[in-house]
Amino acid sequence: MNAYIGPEKIIEKKKAFLFPCSHHFYKNPPQIVKGEMQYLFDSKGKKYLDCFAGVSVMNCGHCNPEILEATIRQMKTLQHTTTIYLTQPMVDLADRLAHVLPGDLRRSFFCCTGSEANEGALLLARLFTGKRNFIALNHSLHGRTYLTMSTTAIPMWRADPELDGCVTFVPNAYSRNKPLEEAAVESLEAVEKAIVSKNTHNIAALIAEPIQGNGGMITPPSWYFQKLKTILEKHGILLIIDEVQTGFARTGKMFAIEHYGVVPDIITVAKALGNGMPIAAFCTNDRIAPALTKPSASTLGGNPVASSTAIAVLDYIEKYNLCAAAEKLGHKLKEGLLALQKKHPIIHDVRGIGLMMGVELLKENGQAAAEETDFILEELKGRGILLGKNGLERNVLAFQPPLVISEEDIRFLLEQLDMVFGLIKFTL
């Protein structure tokens, strides 16, 4: 291992050797050197309550000993070979996933990242339907590859100025100035319109996140996805649900789409499946899976170490009932945030399900409170809390802690938030 160099030198090295596109949240970002379940430690020994979990990755906590044991055991036995031979962990994982996936979804194709999983899902939809085009929602983020970036609406995540024109974007269930239900109805009307318009015939699938993470924790009303599915079915269009950020107990159910009572045609998973180990998958039913016929496999996707880790993740979620924990603690967090909203007028909206919660901040004049959002993040960091932010205008506080967080941690977070919100009018 290289000798310790410290945060300043890391920034220098980043500037010298990485691409300039990497960005930070803080003026002086902490150098994280250690993780222990819901806590992170920086190079100066400061302890933080992690309320971001590496963007919904570390659902089972940092360096979770039970999961690490499975990873290390597999690493010491067999790390990697090729899918041309037979290995057990990947098929065991596929079997386990089949038992927790919604409805008739039971076939998995393993890869390494969320982008890859979505790329595969989009390809599968094309192969199955024989159609080329897609619908995606405003505020969406589906990945960094060409097609997934093409289905990504958030301008800051669309690095390529000339993305594929096969995607039609429609309004999502969000509006700052009108009730959510109204915005959701308009979103569905826009989907229907896009389908029948002569420019957007030939649509293979609509891709959507059940709760839009980077888009600002946009949470459609409970009836939205059922109505959406009915519209799509009428036109022979598949529904791809991107659970990359919402999957694996984050919202109080194994998958967020379960809150909506809908079984999608294809579901994509990544992040929390590996709890820090790169593993992802697109999953579908027996009817659609045979459309992918050419020999196709990802070199490292679902390798023995990643698969064994993911099995241990599923074991851990079940053993400690993390769905129930996320539901219960999510209620506590939401209750607390709603109480803060009554007190602090900068809080425009509190939304989300379980431990996937967003707080949208607006200034008095109704504009996005982006500087205030940064101020809150900085203040909380000083108080030992790492929180996220997202939204098109970077004015949504993102609460996505490891699901092993305690009630005491939530109380501490809410207390500190209350104090920091109280500082805003005096400081800015």
Strands (E), 30-122: 32-36, 39-42, 47-50, 107-111
Q: Burial-class residue 329 by CB neighbours within 10 Å (0-12, 13-18, 19+).
A: buried
Does residue 115 interact with ligand PMP by CB under 6 A?
A: yes
d(CA 131, CA 129): 5
CB of 269 to ligand PMP, least distance (A): 10
d(CA 97, CA 90): 10
Does residue 307 interact with ligand PMP by CB under 6 A?
A: no
| Under 8 Å between Cβ of 311 and 347 | no
Does residue 59 interact with ligand PMP by CB under 6 A?
A: no
User: Which range in 107-115, 168-176, 191-199, 388-396 contacts ligand PMP by CB under 6 A?
Assistant: 107-115
Q: Please pick, from the candidates 102, 114, 304, 391, the single residue that binds ligand PMP as defined by CB under 6 A.
A: 114
CA 334 → CA 224, 326, 356, distances in Å?
21, 11, 10
d(CA 203, CA 166): 9
Q: Please pick, from the candidates 67, 141, 356, 361, the single residue that binds ligand PMP as defined by CB under 6 A.
A: 141
CB of 321 to ligand PMP, least distance (A): 25
Whichever of 52 and 421 has its CB closer to ligand PMP, that residue is 52
Q: Burial-class residue 376 by CB neighbours within 10 Å (0-12, 13-18, 19+).
A: buried
Does residue 245 interact with ligand PMP by CB under 6 A?
A: yes
Whichever of 142 and 229 has its CB closer to ligand PMP, that residue is 142
Does residue 214 interact with ligand PMP by CB under 6 A?
A: yes
- The footprint of ligand PMP on this chain (CB under 6 A) covers a number of residues equal to 16
CA 279 → CA 199, 253, 318, distances in Å?
37, 20, 19
Does residue 209 interact with ligand PMP by CB under 6 A?
A: yes
Whichever of 114 and 352 has its CB closer to ligand PMP, that residue is 114
Helices (H), 112-159: 114-129, 146-150
Taking CB positions, which residue lies at the least distance from ligand PMP? Answer: 114
Whichever of 279 and 329 has its CB closer to ligand PMP, that residue is 279
Indicate the DSSP class of residue 316.
H
CB of 142 to ligand PMP, least distance (A): 5
Q: Which residues make up the interface to ligand PMP (CB under 6 A)? A: 55, 113-115, 118, 141-144, 209, 213-214, 242, 244-245, 270
